[in-house]
Amino acid sequence: MKTKQTKILFVCLGNICRSPMAHGVMQYLVDKYECQNVFCKIDSCGMYGEAEGTQTHQRTILEIQNQLNYQFMKPSRNWSAKDYDEYDLILAMDKSNYFAILKQLGKQKISDAAQKVKLFRDFDPKGKGNVMNPYGGEQIKYTQVFQIIERTCKNIIQSHVQIQDK
Query: Any idea what the Cα angle at residue 34 is, between residues 159 and 78, rounded to 5°?
Result: 70
Rounded CA separation 36/27 (Å): 9
What strands lie across the sheet with 39-46, from one edge to the other? 39-46, 6-12, 89-92, 117-119
For the annotated catalytic residues, the residue numbers are: 12, 18
E strand residue ranges, 32-155: 39-46, 89-92, 117-119
Rounded CA separation 102/44 (Å): 17
Rounded CA separation 154/79 (Å): 25
What Å distances lie between residue 36 and 26, 116, 164, CA to CA? Answer: 11, 20, 15
Rounded CA separation 91/85 (Å): 14
